[in-house]
Structure formats: C-alpha cells, structure tokens
Amino acid sequence: MFFGKRFSGHEGGIFSGLDILVLSIIENYDGISGYDLARSINKKFNKLWHASPGTIYPLLNRLAKGGFIEMEVLLKSNRNIKLYRITESGQKKLREVLKSNLEPSIDTLGEYLRTIVQTWIPNEDRIHSMMSCFPYNREHSHRSIDTEDYSIRNIERVKRILGELNFSKSRIIKRMDHIDKRTSHLEVLLSDLQNKREKNTKTIEIVDDDDYNDFKNS
C-alpha cells in the first residue's frame, strides 16, 4: 500500500508514504494535535484506511526525534495537549522527498486505487473510463518505458498503458463516427434549407428614382 511504501531523498534517509502525508498535513495545519491529525487522515481516506493512535503517535515521536517536527505542550481543560509544527529541516526534507519521488508515489497510489476499483467494477472499459481522471493515468505521454526491464511490474505497466491507449483510441473512433454522422446530417439539412429558400422567396427588383417617377406618372 502507498502508506507503507519507502521513499528516500538524495541526502539519504528513508520516509514512508505515511511520513510524507503526516508532514504535509502538519505543514498545512501549523500547530495541529495528534488527535486532529488522525481525524484529518481518516476523513480523507474514510474506510480505505484507518489511522490509529498506535500508528500515529509513534510516527510523530520518530519525526520529532529526527528533528523534522517540534512539539509544544498546551494545557487545556486540565489536560496536556501536544501540538505539532514542522521544522525548517522537516520542510527541506519534505521538498526533497517529494521532488525525488512524487511521480513514483502517484503511480503507486494510482495502482492501489485501480486495484480497489477493479474489485468493484470488473469491466475493463469502465475501469479505464473511471481512472482516466487521475494524473498518473497519463504517464505514458510523459515517461519512457524501460525496454530492458522484463520484471512482472514493468510487463504489467506496459499492458496497462497499452490497454489505456486502446481504450482512448476506441473513444476517439466513436467520437469521430459521431462527428461524421453529425456533419453529414447538417450538410443535408443545409442543402435542404437553401433549396427551400430558393423555391419560396421572390426577388424584389430595386428601381432607381427616374424609373419610379415614370411609373407614378404613367
């Protein structure tokens, strides 16, 4: 799953997908509590994944020990509440990891979503249609394929890209057929309207002033 996938930056150090997500949320919500952090994650992913205290708090402690976040203890209603803020080191690390691993992260998340969708919707064309809105779905337009990599992952990637291209091609063909039919219909309609106009309109002759005076005095 995306959350468990490991990512590294050019300066070393390993981050999980969940580390990246948590750091991103803390950066966007400066001074967020662990409870609100977990609630934010669970709201985003609903029933797909549940952030438990046993997962979140050890992760926060690890990020704090690494100097990526800092904690502030706030006394509220006779309770100590820890608020978390991202440090300059954490911001730098987050940018570094995202820059080095953003495309693979999106690709992995896309594969995960595709697996879920495939369970619900077994029809391949409908899967392609639903997944076409995700940015990773257009990766074949921007990323090259390793022609020497015969791993199962790369083979499956080529199959998926080929399937997406064939699906896009079929949609374009259907669209072109529709356009051809519509064009033919409008061409016939235009010709018919022009013929009707020629048959049902009369030409009014415009005369000059001298001709009009001659007509009036005759």
Rounded distance, CA 103 to CA 9, Å? 14
Coil vs helix vs strand at 71:
strand
- The H or E element spanning position 217 is helix 209-217
The CA distances from residue 81 to 31, 42, 71, 84, in Å, are 11, 20, 10, 10
DSSP string for 128-150: HHHHTTSGGGGGGGTS---TT--
At residue 149, the pLDDT reads: 84
Query: What's this model's pTM, rounded to 2 decimal places?
Result: 0.44
Of the chain, the percentage scoring pLDDT greater than 70 comes to 64
At residue 142, the pLDDT reads: 47
> What confidence tens digit (pLDDT) does each residue in 28-85 have?
888 899 999 998 888 877 766 778 888 899 999 999 999 999 998 888 788 888 999 9
Write down the CATH number for the domain with range 2-101. Answer: 1.10.10.10
> What confidence tens digit (pLDDT) does each residue in 151-199 have?
887 888 788 778 777 777 777 788 888 889 999 999 999 999 989 888 8
> What confidence tens digit (pLDDT) does each residue in 135-146 have?
444 444 445 777
Rounded distance, CA 104 to CA 8, Å? 12
Which residues make beta-bridge pairs with 73? 82
> What confidence tens digit (pLDDT) does each residue in 99-110 have?
765 555 555 555
Which residue from 105, 90, 97 is spatially nearest to 8, judged by alpha carbons?
97
The pLDDT mean for the chain works out to 74
The CA distances from residue 189 to 48, 85, 186, in Å, are 54, 67, 5
Rounded distance, CA 17 to CA 38, Å? 15
